Chain A
Amino acid sequence: MWVFLATEVMFFGGLFTAYIIYRNFYLSAFEAGSRLLNVKIGAANTAVLLCSSLTMALGVRAAQLGKKKLLVTFLVLTLLLGLAFIGIKLGLEWRHDYLEGFAPGVNWTFHGPDWRHLELFFCFYFFLTGIHALHMLIGVGILTTLIIMAGRGRFSPQRYNPVEVSGLYWHFVDIVWIFLYPLLYLIGGRY
């Protein structure tokens, strides 16, 4: 799984590279775009995801100790927190941006100064958070499978590798968000 995560680092890395370059070319537009994002929701979402990492780590620990009920509880909590994250991101933030006319390609209405570069910022915003959300959805699928397997008693202190490995994946998706949050929300000159 570590080897697979290395590939994911490079996958997101390509997107981050493009973002870094355009941010440097069009700093004012990107900063303006960043300010248009809602920091409170972003921070809340970050907290949600960090909680889910905690519950995931505790779940792995429960598997190591052979505590089946605890394992299922933590996995379910992680799943719910993950779903909450996706719900907030898609249902609240994306929907808001779409309604306000900041959705490139589908509903873009802003035509003030430097609007093309602002649109570029929102492109990256949607691509980055979208691909992140896709990875979270895959994680949700993996968690569902784990919950079913754990419910059937498939894991024990001698055999819990799938839980550990899925945990690694989940934490990685959290780490991507740890970088996305400041890069998208916080460096917009909000002072």
Chain B
Amino acid sequence: MVGHVVHKKLYFLVFAGLIGLTALTTGVAFIDLGKWNTLAALAIAVCKASLVVLFFMHLRWSSGLMRMVLLAAFIWFAILVALTLSDEFTRQWTPVPSNWQAQVQQQAR
């Protein structure tokens, strides 16, 4: 059973896009966009990855099940990051009184 045979041209087009995006992301790194630099870099990376997944890895012509598998993987990664970050970033929210050591000794007595 031969799967979907992709036209050579499409592969070369995707490749050109990938190289172009690489050049773009490298160039943008040298421009000061403040906090948008990180976002831009990640967004471009996501575009490149999508090109590879959809065309080189044939996901565009694959069954829904394969897409679900990949989606599940990324959702699970997102869960790991989101909930871990929720802890790491909110630890400072609860202020600890500066005289906490004295307070503890007070209560122990």
Binding site for B on A (CB under 8 A): 2-3, 5-6, 9-10, 13-14, 16-17, 20-21, 24-25, 39, 43, 46-47, 50-51, 53-54, 56-58, 61, 64-65, 157-158, 164, 167-168, 171-172, 174-175, 178-179, 181-183, 185-191
B102 at the interface (CB under 8 A from A): no
Residues of A within 8 A of B44 (CB): 182
> A179–B23 Cα gap in the complex (Å)?
14
Task: Flag if B11 contacts A10 (CB, 8 Å).
Answer: no
Task: Flag if A50 contacts B22 (CB, 8 Å).
Answer: yes
Residues of A within 8 A of B18 (CB): 50, 53
B50-82 with Cβ < 8 A to chain A: 52-53, 55-58, 66, 69-70, 72-74, 76-77, 80-81
CB distance from A173 to the nearest CB of B (A): 11
CB<8 Å pairs between A and B, sample of 12:
A9-B74, A13-B81, A53-B18, A53-B52, A64-B2, A168-B57, A171-B57, A178-B48, A179-B49, A186-B29, A187-B29, A190-B30
B84 at the interface (CB under 8 A from A): yes
B31 at the interface (CB under 8 A from A): yes
CB distance from A44 to the nearest CB of B (A): 10
Task: Flag if A47 contacts B42 (CB, 8 Å).
Answer: no
B104 at the interface (CB under 8 A from A): no
Task: Flag if A54 contacts B15 (CB, 8 Å).
Answer: yes
> A84–B43 Cα gap in the complex (Å)?
27
Residues of B within 8 A of A186 (CB): 25-26, 28-29, 37, 41
Task: Flag if A190 contacts B29 (CB, 8 Å).
Answer: yes
